[in-house]
Structure 1
Protein backbone atom coordinates (compact mmCIF):
# COMPACT_ATOMS: atom_id res chain seq x y z
CA UNK A 1 0.00 0.00 0.00
CA UNK A 2 1.46 3.36 -1.01
CA UNK A 3 1.80 6.42 1.16
CA UNK A 4 -0.83 8.19 -0.98
CA UNK A 5 -3.28 5.32 -0.39
CA UNK A 6 -2.59 5.48 3.33
CA UNK A 7 -3.32 9.22 3.30
CA UNK A 8 -6.67 8.60 1.62
CA UNK A 9 -7.50 5.89 4.13
CA UNK A 10 -6.74 8.20 7.06
CA UNK A 11 -8.56 11.19 5.61
CA UNK A 12 -12.07 11.56 7.08
CA UNK A 13 -14.88 11.64 4.60
CA UNK A 14 -16.77 14.89 4.17
CA UNK A 15 -20.08 13.07 4.60
CA UNK A 16 -20.66 10.67 7.44
CA UNK A 17 -23.79 8.55 7.74
CA UNK A 18 -24.78 8.20 11.39
CA UNK A 19 -26.25 4.77 11.92
CA UNK A 20 -29.19 4.24 14.29
CA UNK A 21 -27.07 2.27 16.76
CA UNK A 22 -24.37 4.87 16.98
CA UNK A 23 -24.43 6.88 20.23
CA UNK A 24 -25.21 10.56 20.11
CA UNK A 25 -23.81 13.36 22.18
CA UNK A 26 -24.24 13.00 25.94
CA UNK A 27 -27.62 14.17 27.21
CA UNK A 28 -27.95 16.59 30.08
CA UNK A 29 -24.89 18.18 31.59
CA UNK A 30 -21.60 17.49 29.91
CA UNK A 31 -17.99 18.05 30.87
CA UNK A 32 -17.41 19.44 27.38
CA UNK A 33 -17.37 23.24 26.99
CA UNK A 34 -20.61 24.64 25.61
CA UNK A 35 -18.90 25.83 22.44
CA UNK A 36 -17.47 22.35 21.83
CA UNK A 37 -20.92 20.78 22.25
CA UNK A 38 -22.47 23.28 19.84
CA UNK A 39 -19.71 22.75 17.28
CA UNK A 40 -20.14 18.98 17.51
CA UNK A 41 -23.92 19.28 17.13
CA UNK A 42 -23.59 21.51 14.10
CA UNK A 43 -21.09 19.19 12.42
CA UNK A 44 -23.29 16.14 13.02
CA UNK A 45 -26.37 17.92 11.69
CA UNK A 46 -24.61 19.08 8.55
CA UNK A 47 -23.20 15.65 7.76
CA UNK A 48 -26.50 13.99 8.51
CA UNK A 49 -28.31 16.40 6.18
CA UNK A 50 -26.04 15.39 3.33
CA UNK A 51 -26.45 11.70 4.06
CA UNK A 52 -30.24 11.98 4.26
CA UNK A 53 -30.63 14.05 1.08
CA UNK A 54 -28.27 11.79 -0.85
CA UNK A 55 -30.36 8.77 0.13
CA UNK A 56 -33.90 10.14 -0.06
CA UNK A 57 -33.68 13.21 -2.27
CA UNK A 58 -34.15 16.75 -1.01
CA UNK A 59 -37.91 16.82 -1.64
CA UNK A 60 -38.45 13.75 0.56
CA UNK A 61 -36.05 14.69 3.37
CA UNK A 62 -37.37 16.18 6.62
CA UNK A 63 -35.84 17.74 9.70
CA UNK A 64 -36.83 14.56 11.54
CA UNK A 65 -34.65 12.54 9.14
CA UNK A 66 -31.69 14.79 9.87
CA UNK A 67 -31.95 14.85 13.66
CA UNK A 68 -32.54 11.11 13.70
CA UNK A 69 -29.35 10.44 11.79
CA UNK A 70 -27.34 13.00 13.73
CA UNK A 71 -28.77 11.81 17.07
CA UNK A 72 -29.31 15.42 18.04
CA UNK A 73 -32.54 16.86 19.37
CA UNK A 74 -34.96 18.83 17.22
CA UNK A 75 -34.52 21.73 19.63
CA UNK A 76 -30.78 21.68 18.99
CA UNK A 77 -31.40 21.67 15.24
CA UNK A 78 -33.38 24.92 15.42
CA UNK A 79 -30.71 26.48 17.61
CA UNK A 80 -28.36 26.13 14.64
CA UNK A 81 -30.58 26.43 11.56
CA UNK A 82 -33.96 28.01 10.82
CA UNK A 83 -34.92 25.24 8.40
CA UNK A 84 -33.67 22.26 6.41
CA UNK A 85 -32.64 24.38 3.43
CA UNK A 86 -30.21 26.48 5.45
CA UNK A 87 -28.71 23.37 7.03
CA UNK A 88 -28.29 21.70 3.66
CA UNK A 89 -26.75 24.75 2.01
CA UNK A 90 -24.35 25.33 4.91
CA UNK A 91 -23.21 21.72 4.57
CA UNK A 92 -22.54 22.09 0.87
CA UNK A 93 -20.76 25.42 1.25
CA UNK A 94 -18.30 23.83 3.66
CA UNK A 95 -17.76 20.90 1.31
CA UNK A 96 -17.15 23.18 -1.66
CA UNK A 97 -14.41 25.00 0.26
CA UNK A 98 -12.74 21.68 1.09
CA UNK A 99 -12.99 20.50 -2.52
CA UNK A 100 -11.40 23.72 -3.79
CA UNK A 101 -8.52 23.37 -1.33
CA UNK A 102 -7.88 19.82 -2.47
CA UNK A 103 -7.99 20.71 -6.15
CA UNK A 104 -5.70 23.69 -5.64
CA UNK A 105 -3.13 21.45 -3.95
CA UNK A 106 -3.00 18.71 -6.62
CA UNK A 107 0.66 18.29 -7.64
CA UNK A 108 1.64 17.59 -11.27
CA UNK A 109 1.73 13.85 -11.90
CA UNK A 110 5.22 13.09 -13.13
CA UNK A 111 4.70 9.34 -13.11
CA UNK A 112 2.66 9.24 -16.31
CA UNK A 113 3.64 9.12 -19.96
CA UNK A 114 1.95 12.48 -20.56
CA UNK A 115 4.27 15.22 -19.29
CA UNK A 116 3.77 18.96 -19.39
CA UNK A 117 0.47 20.87 -19.26
CA UNK A 118 -1.66 17.98 -20.50
CA UNK A 119 -0.24 15.72 -17.84
CA UNK A 120 -1.05 18.33 -15.19
CA UNK A 121 -4.63 18.58 -16.46
CA UNK A 122 -4.93 14.80 -16.33
CA UNK A 123 -3.69 14.81 -12.74
CA UNK A 124 -6.34 17.35 -11.79
CA UNK A 125 -9.06 15.43 -13.61
CA UNK A 126 -8.06 12.23 -11.88
CA UNK A 127 -7.99 13.88 -8.45
CA UNK A 128 -11.45 15.41 -8.92
CA UNK A 129 -13.03 12.18 -10.16
CA UNK A 130 -11.48 10.17 -7.34
CA UNK A 131 -12.76 12.72 -4.84
CA UNK A 132 -16.30 12.47 -6.25
CA UNK A 133 -16.09 8.67 -6.10
CA UNK A 134 -14.88 8.81 -2.49
CA UNK A 135 -17.59 11.33 -1.54
CA UNK A 136 -20.67 10.06 -3.43
CA UNK A 137 -23.13 11.71 -1.03
CA UNK A 138 -21.67 15.17 -1.56
CA UNK A 139 -21.24 14.63 -5.29
CA UNK A 140 -24.88 13.63 -5.62
CA UNK A 141 -26.11 16.50 -3.47
CA UNK A 142 -24.10 19.14 -5.36
CA UNK A 143 -24.69 17.87 -8.90
CA UNK A 144 -28.10 16.18 -8.73
CA UNK A 145 -30.07 17.57 -5.78
CA UNK A 146 -28.80 21.13 -5.33
CA UNK A 147 -30.27 22.73 -8.49
CA UNK A 148 -33.80 21.69 -7.47
CA UNK A 149 -33.68 23.20 -3.97
CA UNK A 150 -34.32 26.79 -5.00
CA UNK A 151 -32.78 30.07 -6.18
CA UNK A 152 -30.45 30.39 -3.19
CA UNK A 153 -29.13 26.89 -3.78
CA UNK A 154 -28.62 27.46 -7.48
CA UNK A 155 -26.71 30.64 -6.71
CA UNK A 156 -24.45 28.69 -4.36
CA UNK A 157 -23.82 26.01 -6.96
CA UNK A 158 -22.95 28.60 -9.60
CA UNK A 159 -20.56 30.27 -7.17
CA UNK A 160 -18.79 26.94 -6.75
CA UNK A 161 -18.60 26.48 -10.52
CA UNK A 162 -17.06 29.93 -10.92
CA UNK A 163 -14.48 29.17 -8.24
CA UNK A 164 -13.37 26.01 -10.03
CA UNK A 165 -13.33 27.95 -13.32
CA UNK A 166 -11.05 30.50 -11.66
CA UNK A 167 -8.64 27.70 -10.69
CA UNK A 168 -8.53 26.62 -14.34
CA UNK A 169 -7.96 30.19 -15.50
CA UNK A 170 -5.11 30.67 -13.03
CA UNK A 171 -3.51 27.41 -14.12
CA UNK A 172 -3.71 28.32 -17.82
CA UNK A 173 -2.30 31.77 -17.25
CA UNK A 174 0.71 30.26 -15.49
CA UNK A 175 1.24 27.29 -17.80
CA UNK A 176 0.29 28.87 -21.10
CA UNK A 177 2.69 31.73 -21.62
CA UNK A 178 2.49 32.52 -25.31
CA UNK A 179 -0.65 30.46 -25.88
CA UNK A 180 -3.50 32.15 -27.79
CA UNK A 181 -6.24 33.48 -25.50
CA UNK A 182 -9.53 31.63 -25.05
CA UNK A 183 -12.93 33.23 -24.36
CA UNK A 184 -13.63 33.68 -20.67
CA UNK A 185 -16.77 31.56 -21.00
CA UNK A 186 -14.68 28.48 -21.87
CA UNK A 187 -13.55 28.02 -18.27
CA UNK A 188 -17.10 27.88 -17.00
CA UNK A 189 -18.16 25.75 -19.97
CA UNK A 190 -15.48 23.21 -19.06
CA UNK A 191 -16.74 22.99 -15.48
CA UNK A 192 -20.33 22.60 -16.66
CA UNK A 193 -19.50 19.90 -19.21
CA UNK A 194 -17.55 17.87 -16.65
CA UNK A 195 -20.34 18.24 -14.10
CA UNK A 196 -22.87 16.92 -16.61
CA UNK A 197 -20.76 13.85 -17.28
CA UNK A 198 -20.46 13.14 -13.56
CA UNK A 199 -24.15 13.82 -12.96
CA UNK A 200 -25.17 11.18 -15.51
CA UNK A 201 -22.94 8.58 -13.88
CA UNK A 202 -24.32 9.45 -10.43
CA UNK A 203 -27.91 9.29 -11.68
CA UNK A 204 -27.13 5.81 -12.98
CA UNK A 205 -26.05 4.80 -9.47
CA UNK A 206 -22.42 4.24 -10.43
CA UNK A 207 -20.20 6.60 -8.39
CA UNK A 208 -17.47 3.96 -8.32
CA UNK A 209 -17.17 4.25 -12.09
CA UNK A 210 -16.34 7.95 -12.04
CA UNK A 211 -12.55 7.50 -12.28
CA UNK A 212 -13.21 5.80 -15.62
CA UNK A 213 -14.14 9.22 -17.02
CA UNK A 214 -10.54 10.42 -16.73
CA UNK A 215 -9.83 10.37 -20.47
CA UNK A 216 -13.09 12.13 -21.33
CA UNK A 217 -12.64 14.83 -18.69
CA UNK A 218 -9.04 15.43 -19.75
CA UNK A 219 -10.13 15.76 -23.38
CA UNK A 220 -12.82 18.30 -22.43
CA UNK A 221 -10.23 20.42 -20.64
CA UNK A 222 -7.68 20.15 -23.43
CA UNK A 223 -10.16 21.12 -26.13
CA UNK A 224 -12.06 23.89 -24.35
CA UNK A 225 -8.94 25.47 -22.90
CA UNK A 226 -7.09 25.11 -26.25
CA UNK A 227 -4.08 23.36 -24.72
CA UNK A 228 -1.55 22.83 -27.52
CA UNK A 229 -0.10 19.42 -28.25
CA UNK A 230 3.50 18.78 -27.15
CA UNK A 231 6.06 19.87 -29.77
CA UNK A 232 7.09 16.28 -30.47
CA UNK A 233 3.52 14.95 -30.79
CA UNK A 234 2.78 13.15 -34.08
Structure 2
Protein backbone atom coordinates (compact mmCIF):
# COMPACT_ATOMS: atom_id res chain seq x y z
CA UNK A 1 0.00 0.00 0.00
CA UNK A 2 1.41 3.36 -1.00
CA UNK A 3 1.42 6.37 1.27
CA UNK A 4 -1.62 8.59 1.03
CA UNK A 5 -4.04 5.66 1.44
CA UNK A 6 -3.83 4.97 -2.30
CA UNK A 7 -3.23 1.41 -3.47
CA UNK A 8 -0.51 1.19 -6.13
CA UNK A 9 -0.61 -2.60 -6.46
CA UNK A 10 -1.61 -3.80 -9.91
CA UNK A 11 -4.75 -5.76 -10.61
CA UNK A 12 -4.34 -9.33 -11.84
CA UNK A 13 -3.80 -9.59 -15.58
CA UNK A 14 -6.08 -11.55 -17.88
CA UNK A 15 -9.64 -12.55 -17.10
CA UNK A 16 -10.98 -11.86 -13.63
CA UNK A 17 -14.31 -11.42 -11.86
CA UNK A 18 -13.71 -7.89 -10.62
CA UNK A 19 -16.53 -5.46 -11.36
CA UNK A 20 -16.04 -2.60 -13.79
CA UNK A 21 -16.64 -0.08 -10.99
CA UNK A 22 -14.04 -1.73 -8.79
CA UNK A 23 -11.49 -1.73 -11.59
CA UNK A 24 -12.15 1.96 -12.35
CA UNK A 25 -11.87 2.91 -8.67
CA UNK A 26 -8.63 0.94 -8.34
CA UNK A 27 -7.18 2.58 -11.44
CA UNK A 28 -8.04 6.06 -10.15
CA UNK A 29 -6.50 5.25 -6.77
CA UNK A 30 -3.29 4.02 -8.38
CA UNK A 31 -3.05 7.12 -10.54
CA UNK A 32 -3.71 9.49 -7.62
CA UNK A 33 -1.15 7.67 -5.49
CA UNK A 34 1.39 7.86 -8.30
CA UNK A 35 0.84 11.60 -8.67
CA UNK A 36 1.69 12.16 -5.01
CA UNK A 37 4.78 9.97 -5.22
CA UNK A 38 6.13 11.56 -8.42
CA UNK A 39 5.35 15.14 -7.34
CA UNK A 40 7.05 14.56 -4.00
CA UNK A 41 10.13 13.00 -5.58
CA UNK A 42 10.59 15.27 -8.62
CA UNK A 43 8.52 18.39 -7.94
CA UNK A 44 5.36 19.59 -9.64
CA UNK A 45 7.20 21.32 -12.46
CA UNK A 46 8.77 18.00 -13.48
CA UNK A 47 5.48 16.11 -13.19
CA UNK A 48 4.36 14.65 -16.53
CA UNK A 49 1.64 12.30 -17.67
CA UNK A 50 4.35 9.88 -18.84
CA UNK A 51 5.88 9.80 -15.35
CA UNK A 52 2.47 9.32 -13.73
CA UNK A 53 1.38 6.41 -15.91
CA UNK A 54 4.77 4.74 -15.51
CA UNK A 55 4.53 4.96 -11.72
CA UNK A 56 0.88 3.88 -11.68
CA UNK A 57 1.35 1.04 -14.16
CA UNK A 58 -1.60 2.09 -16.32
CA UNK A 59 -1.93 2.94 -19.98
CA UNK A 60 -2.18 6.45 -21.37
CA UNK A 61 -5.74 5.65 -22.49
CA UNK A 62 -6.66 4.63 -18.94
CA UNK A 63 -5.22 7.87 -17.57
CA UNK A 64 -7.32 9.99 -19.94
CA UNK A 65 -10.44 8.00 -19.11
CA UNK A 66 -10.24 9.42 -15.59
CA UNK A 67 -8.38 12.74 -15.81
CA UNK A 68 -7.99 15.60 -18.29
CA UNK A 69 -4.32 16.43 -17.77
CA UNK A 70 -1.61 16.65 -15.15
CA UNK A 71 -3.13 19.75 -13.51
CA UNK A 72 -6.50 18.03 -13.14
CA UNK A 73 -5.03 14.90 -11.58
CA UNK A 74 -2.74 16.87 -9.27
CA UNK A 75 -5.67 18.95 -7.99
CA UNK A 76 -7.72 15.80 -7.43
CA UNK A 77 -4.85 14.15 -5.56
CA UNK A 78 -4.20 17.11 -3.28
CA UNK A 79 -7.93 17.67 -2.68
CA UNK A 80 -8.19 14.09 -1.46
CA UNK A 81 -5.13 14.54 0.76
CA UNK A 82 -6.45 17.73 2.35
CA UNK A 83 -9.75 15.96 3.02
CA UNK A 84 -7.90 13.15 4.80
CA UNK A 85 -5.97 15.70 6.86
CA UNK A 86 -9.17 17.44 7.94
CA UNK A 87 -10.83 14.12 8.77
CA UNK A 88 -7.90 13.22 11.04
CA UNK A 89 -8.07 16.60 12.77
CA UNK A 90 -11.84 16.47 13.31
CA UNK A 91 -11.69 12.86 14.54
CA UNK A 92 -8.95 13.80 17.02
CA UNK A 93 -10.62 16.80 18.59
CA UNK A 94 -14.20 15.50 18.62
CA UNK A 95 -15.16 14.70 22.17
CA UNK A 96 -12.39 16.72 23.81
CA UNK A 97 -13.78 18.62 26.81
CA UNK A 98 -12.55 22.16 26.13
CA UNK A 99 -11.05 24.47 23.51
CA UNK A 100 -7.43 24.04 24.56
CA UNK A 101 -7.75 20.25 24.53
CA UNK A 102 -9.38 20.36 21.10
CA UNK A 103 -6.66 22.62 19.72
CA UNK A 104 -3.94 20.35 21.14
CA UNK A 105 -5.55 17.14 19.84
CA UNK A 106 -6.24 18.57 16.39
CA UNK A 107 -2.75 20.01 15.99
CA UNK A 108 -1.21 16.73 17.13
CA UNK A 109 -3.27 14.77 14.62
CA UNK A 110 -2.21 17.08 11.78
CA UNK A 111 1.48 16.88 12.66
CA UNK A 112 1.31 13.09 13.04
CA UNK A 113 -0.40 12.73 9.67
CA UNK A 114 2.28 14.76 7.90
CA UNK A 115 5.10 12.98 9.73
CA UNK A 116 3.90 9.52 8.73
CA UNK A 117 3.19 10.39 5.08
CA UNK A 118 6.20 12.29 3.79
CA UNK A 119 5.16 12.12 0.12
CA UNK A 120 1.73 13.61 0.79
CA UNK A 121 3.26 16.22 3.08
CA UNK A 122 5.67 17.36 0.37
CA UNK A 123 3.10 17.28 -2.43
CA UNK A 124 0.55 19.31 -0.45
CA UNK A 125 2.70 21.63 1.64
CA UNK A 126 5.64 22.36 -0.68
CA UNK A 127 4.57 21.56 -4.24
CA UNK A 128 0.91 22.65 -4.29
CA UNK A 129 1.69 26.39 -3.90
CA UNK A 130 3.88 26.17 -7.05
CA UNK A 131 1.31 24.32 -9.17
CA UNK A 132 -0.56 27.33 -10.58
CA UNK A 133 -3.49 29.55 -9.58
CA UNK A 134 -6.03 26.76 -9.13
CA UNK A 135 -3.76 24.80 -6.79
CA UNK A 136 -2.88 27.95 -4.86
CA UNK A 137 -6.59 28.71 -4.44
CA UNK A 138 -7.17 25.17 -3.17
CA UNK A 139 -4.36 25.69 -0.66
CA UNK A 140 -5.99 28.92 0.50
CA UNK A 141 -9.30 27.08 0.93
CA UNK A 142 -7.63 24.32 2.95
CA UNK A 143 -5.88 26.80 5.24
CA UNK A 144 -9.14 28.72 5.66
CA UNK A 145 -10.92 25.51 6.68
CA UNK A 146 -8.29 24.78 9.32
CA UNK A 147 -8.43 28.41 10.49
CA UNK A 148 -12.19 28.16 10.90
CA UNK A 149 -11.73 25.23 13.27
CA UNK A 150 -9.37 27.38 15.35
CA UNK A 151 -11.67 30.42 15.21
CA UNK A 152 -14.55 28.48 16.74
CA UNK A 153 -12.36 27.57 19.70
CA UNK A 154 -10.94 31.09 20.02
CA UNK A 155 -14.50 32.40 20.38
CA UNK A 156 -15.03 29.96 23.24
CA UNK A 157 -11.77 30.87 24.95
CA UNK A 158 -11.95 34.64 24.43
CA UNK A 159 -15.58 35.59 23.75
CA UNK A 160 -14.87 39.32 23.82
CA UNK A 161 -11.82 39.31 21.57
CA UNK A 162 -12.65 41.65 18.67
CA UNK A 163 -11.42 39.60 15.68
CA UNK A 164 -11.12 35.85 16.34
CA UNK A 165 -11.13 35.08 12.59
CA UNK A 166 -8.00 37.17 12.02
CA UNK A 167 -6.39 35.63 15.09
CA UNK A 168 -7.12 32.13 13.77
CA UNK A 169 -5.77 33.05 10.32
CA UNK A 170 -2.57 34.31 11.95
CA UNK A 171 -2.17 31.13 13.98
CA UNK A 172 -2.72 28.79 11.05
CA UNK A 173 -0.40 30.90 8.88
CA UNK A 174 2.34 30.58 11.49
CA UNK A 175 1.85 26.84 11.79
CA UNK A 176 1.98 26.49 8.02
CA UNK A 177 5.27 28.35 7.76
CA UNK A 178 6.86 26.19 10.48
CA UNK A 179 5.60 23.01 8.82
CA UNK A 180 6.63 24.19 5.33
CA UNK A 181 10.24 24.74 6.35
CA UNK A 182 10.51 21.31 7.99
CA UNK A 183 8.91 19.50 5.08
CA UNK A 184 11.02 21.35 2.52
CA UNK A 185 14.14 20.22 4.40
CA UNK A 186 12.89 16.63 4.61
CA UNK A 187 12.37 16.82 8.38
CA UNK A 188 8.78 15.55 8.47
CA UNK A 189 9.61 13.08 11.24
CA UNK A 190 10.35 16.00 13.57
CA UNK A 191 6.89 17.53 13.25
CA UNK A 192 5.11 15.74 16.14
CA UNK A 193 7.79 16.97 18.51
CA UNK A 194 6.85 20.57 17.70
CA UNK A 195 3.33 20.35 19.11
CA UNK A 196 4.14 21.58 22.62
CA UNK A 197 6.26 24.44 21.34
CA UNK A 198 3.58 25.54 18.89
CA UNK A 199 0.90 25.38 21.58
CA UNK A 200 3.04 27.50 23.89
CA UNK A 201 3.71 29.97 21.08
CA UNK A 202 0.00 30.50 20.57
CA UNK A 203 -1.14 30.33 24.20
CA UNK A 204 -1.74 34.11 24.01
CA UNK A 205 -2.37 34.76 27.70
CA UNK A 206 -2.59 38.51 27.08
CA UNK A 207 -5.88 37.95 25.29
CA UNK A 208 -7.49 37.65 28.72
CA UNK A 209 -7.24 41.42 29.01
CA UNK A 210 -9.96 41.78 26.41
CA UNK A 211 -13.10 42.58 28.35
CA UNK A 212 -16.66 43.30 27.22
CA UNK A 213 -15.80 46.91 26.36
CA UNK A 214 -12.35 46.39 24.83
CA UNK A 215 -13.51 46.22 21.23
CA UNK A 216 -15.09 49.67 21.49
CA UNK A 217 -12.04 51.12 23.23
CA UNK A 218 -13.94 52.17 26.33
Shorter-chain TM band: 0.7 to 0.9
Higher helix share: 2
Kindly indicate whether the alpha-carbon contact (under 8 Å) linking 2:171 and 2:202 is maintained by their aligned counterparts in 1. yes
Q: Does 1:142 align with 2:89?
A: no
Partner residue in 1 for 2:91:
105
Kindly indicate whether the alpha-carbon contact (under 8 Å) linking 1:45 and 1:67 is maintained by their aligned counterparts in 2. yes
For the residues of structure 2 that align with 1:119 and 1:140, how far apart are their CA atoms? 28
Structure 1 stretches of 4+ moved >6 Å: none
Partner residue in 1 for 2:175:
194
- CA RMSD in angstroms comes to 2.8
Partner residue in 2 for 1:3:
none
Q: Does 1:121 align with 2:103?
A: yes
1:93, distance to aligned residue in structure 2 (A): 0.6
For the residues of structure 2 that align with 1:59 and 1:225, how far apart are their CA atoms? 44
For the residues of structure 2 that align with 1:224 and 1:40, how far apart are their CA atoms? 50
1:156, distance to aligned residue in structure 2 (A): 0.6
Deviations 1:23-49 (A, max 9, x none): 522345542111111111001100110
Q: Does 1:14 align with 2:4?
A: yes
The TM-score, its normalising length taken from structure 1, stands at 0.79
| Contiguous gaps of at least 5 residues in structure 2 | 210-218
SS in 2 for 1:222: coil
- For the structure 1 residues 99 and 145, does the alpha-carbon distance in structure 2 shift closer, same or farther, using more than 3 Å as the test? same
For the residues of structure 1 that align with 2:192 and 2:95, how far apart are their CA atoms? 16
Kindly indicate whether the alpha-carbon contact (under 8 Å) linking 1:46 and 1:91 is maintained by their aligned counterparts in 2. yes
The number of residues matched between the two structures is 209
Task: Give 2:166's match in structure 1, choosing from 167, 185, 192.
Answer: 185
| Contiguous gaps of at least 5 residues in structure 1 | 1-10, 229-234
SS in 1 for 2:10: coil
For the residues of structure 1 that align with 2:205 and 2:123, how far apart are their CA atoms? 26
Identify the range of structure 1 (101-110 vs 87-96) with the bigger mean alpha-carbon deviation.
101-110
Kindly indicate whether the alpha-carbon contact (under 8 Å) linking 2:89 and 2:105 is maintained by their aligned counterparts in 1. no
Task: Give 1:221's match in structure 2, choosing from 156, 177, 202.
Answer: 202
Kindly indicate whether the alpha-carbon contact (under 8 Å) linking 2:89 and 2:107 is maintained by their aligned counterparts in 1. no
Kindly indicate whether the alpha-carbon contact (under 8 Å) linking 1:106 and 1:127 is maintained by their aligned counterparts in 2. yes
1:16, distance to aligned residue in structure 2 (A): 5.0
Partner residue in 2 for 1:62:
48
Q: Does 1:25 align with 2:11?
A: yes
